[in-house]
Amino acid sequence: MLHLSLQQGDGVPLYLQLIQQIKHLVATGRLAPDSELPPVRVLAQQLLINPNTVVRAYRELEIAGLVYKRRGEGTYVSSRGTPYTPEECRRILAQKVEALLIEGRHLGFDEEKIIDLVRECESDLQRRARANEGVTI
Amino acid sequence: MTQEATTPVITVRDLTCRFGKKTALDRISFAIQPGRVFGLVGENGAGKTTLMKHLLGSLTPQQGKVQVLGIEPTRDPAALLAKIGFLSEDRDLPRWMRVRELMRYTQAFYPDWDDPYAERMREQFRLDAKAKIRNLSRGELAKLGLLVALAHRPPVLLLDEPSSGLDAVARREILAVVVRSVAEEGRTVVFSSHLLDEVERVADDVAMIHEGKLKVLMSMDEIKATHQRRVVQFGSDISRFPDTLGVIHVEGEGREWAVVTQGDAAATRRALEAIEARIVEESVPSLDTVFVAHVSGSRRDLAVA
């Protein structure tokens, strides 16, 4: 079973929360390449949300190349790759880095401290991904 | 996403209803496409139940038109009631009957009653067949009401405040039935509620009613895409927030104000920058915040500190 939890009240559209959480599970290795995501109606009933919300999240993940559909049936995690051009990837990331730098400035983190933190987080992600290797959900 | 050009399941056009001097519904118009969950949102007394009664045919339009599955509800109530399931807010079930008796009794009215399905729901809802209805809890009454509304597998389900007065567990069970209805049977659901977080979870489309008027009619996606909540700061204290394009609600005093804007995000951002309001925080508002912004009407310049 896929353990996702949606936050209500902060206003982030539910389909975006789903996308973010699935991306997170893939990045941390809890969802391995080629593993199957739950069918739309199963996830909708588990989370008590409108099935169209799940359809939309899956569709956007598919457009982003993170999942693929097999024979019109299930939805599976892609092994790698993104349909974005290198410039698009760069632009998407640049926005996030900028937000990070601004937040850092307010919290008293300079560039160096942020880069250190990035390295720390990366090794933490790798460690979690290794810990989850071979684990099926 | 553009809406497919299908025939709406429910059409309401210019519906007006007056009770004496009070206008309960004021020129309400909307259409509901098949397979959608339509959330009807409003405070108590806003007109939700009156609108539901028009869909059911228990009230005749004084002005305007109502069609459900191509039928005018008051012209052919029997034909319509065979095709819809309804759960009323007051769950008017015969209190002297037992659960199984009510099931048999209701079955007699519906040629399409699916008994195995009804039994499955009864077990799933943990309703004792021999229990007297008068002894059921509120949650059990709601579940029994839902069972008899659904057992003939109607293509349209109308739920008037299904969660009213229920605890969290019973609410989840009712919501689960709504989700399953849509996911597995493609049913069209009209769902009225004053619990905005529920509506945010399950509705495709949202109608916000206030004092008999339709204030907002949008898909959930549109609501999320066209509303922003922003916290802004001014260089110095201001006593009144200037009129600004797209600002539908303001709260605050002095230098810092929280506003809800409606419209293109870039355009409303520029409008705020034009009045020298510096945006310090920006987020997508919850449905609750959007609702309050639209119905609390005017701006709250004089919010109490």
Element (H, E) at B191: strand B188-193
B127 and B45 in one domain?
yes
Q: Which of A9, A12, A50 comes nearest B202 by C-beta?
A: A50
* Secondary structure E strands in chain A: 36-37, 67-69, 75-77
Reported ipTM: 0.73
Please check whether residues B193 and B238 belong to one and the same domain: no
Contact at CB, B283 and A8, closer than 8 angstroms: no
In the predicted model, what is the mean pLDDT of residues A104-130?
88
pTM: 0.82
- Same domain for B230 and B89? no
* Closest chain B residue by Cα to residue A50: B202
pLDDT at A3: 79
pLDDT for position A117: 92
- The β-bridge partners of B155 are none
Residue B135 and residue B279 share a domain? no
User: Any CB–CB contact under 8 A between B197 and chain A?
Assistant: yes
Regarding predicted confidence, which is higher, B95 or A135? B95
**The domain containing residue B129 runs over which residues?**
10-211
Note whether A37 and A71 are same-domain residues: yes
Q: Are residues B203 and B230 in the same domain?
A: no
Closest-CA residue of B relative to A14 is B201
Range of the domain at A113: 86-131
Statement: residue A120 has pLDDT above 90: yes
**How many domains does the structure of chain B reveal?**
2
pLDDT, tens digit, 9 for 90 and up, residues B124-159: 999 999 999 999 998 999 999 999 999 999 999 999
Residue A30 pLDDT class (50, 70, 90 cuts): confident
**B37 interaction partners in chain A (CB closer than 8 Å):** 50
Q: Which residue has the higher pLDDT, A29 or B22?
A: B22
What pLDDT sits at residue A27? 76
Taking 50 as the pLDDT cut, the residues of chain B under it are: 1-3, 299-305
Q: Both B193 and B253 in a single domain?
A: no
Find chain B residues with C-beta within 8 A of A10's C-beta. Answer: 283, 286
On whether both B93 and B231 belong to a single domain, the answer is no
**What integer pLDDT is reported at residue B302 of this predicted model?**
38
Amino acid letter for position A19: I
Q: Give A47 to chain B, closest Cα distance, Å.
A: 9
